A and B are shown apart, each in its own frame.
Chain A
Amino acid sequence: GENVEQHPSTLSVQEGDSAVIKCTYSDSASNYFPWYKQELGKGPQLIIDIRSNVGEKKDQRIAVTLNKTAKHFSLHITETQPEDSAVYFCAGDSNYQLIWGAGTKLIIKP
């Protein structure tokens, strides 16, 4: 089955700098890779996703890249702002389920 690993577990960046979170997956049959943001006391919320037929997708300050050969994908946040502080989860699909990484706590320092 699918296994998704996520790094780092905690990331602290200066406001305005970029943040990069990386995930690897094991199931070569996986085709869908979403990223969710979870704020304290809330449920996860989708921020961007990518399917295996593209290598990169961008939405304003957020971008995701996918390398199917290496089985890894990354989240890039540019010009970080205080409201970007949250826990970010990557996931990969497996038999129509989502298998989630353990999360990255992103801290934006003022």
Chain B
Amino acid sequence: GAGVSQTPSNKVTEKGKYVELRCDPISGHTALYWYRQSLGQGPEFLIYFQGTGAADDSGLPNDRFFAVRPEGSVSTLKIQRTERGDSAVYLCASSPDRENTGELFFGEGSRLTVL
């Protein structure tokens, strides 16, 4: 069956540009998470959606980062005025239900490089 799909797999951009990263979760999964992973580190929480609403966006580093999930399925992470420090792998994960903390199903990530 289809897992979590993330596009693009690689994105190279210049400092100051705008980027969008897309996540297509497993069908039927109501919970969706975005994480950021730097080299040699564990995933760092960014934002969590339950359905269409952002239930917890406490991990977003600043107001240049924004994420949407308008129909409760596909999500887009948007980064404005990119900086070199934004370079990382952005991971998306989904799970059936957040009420009982359980397995997260991750995509392969989108590697963002800001030159």
Contact = CB atoms under 8 A, between A and B. Distances in A.
A102 B39 CA distance: 10
A98 B45 contact: yes
B25 interface: no
Given A96-B98, A97-B45, A97-B56, A46 B104 contact: yes
Contacts of B91: 43-44
Interface residues of A, number: 24
B45 A42 contact: no
B49 to A, nearest CB: 13
Interface in B54-110: 56, 59, 91, 93, 98, 101-104, 106-109
A41 interface: yes
B42 A102 contact: yes
Interface of B: 4, 40-45, 48, 56, 59, 91, 93, 98, 101-104, 106-109
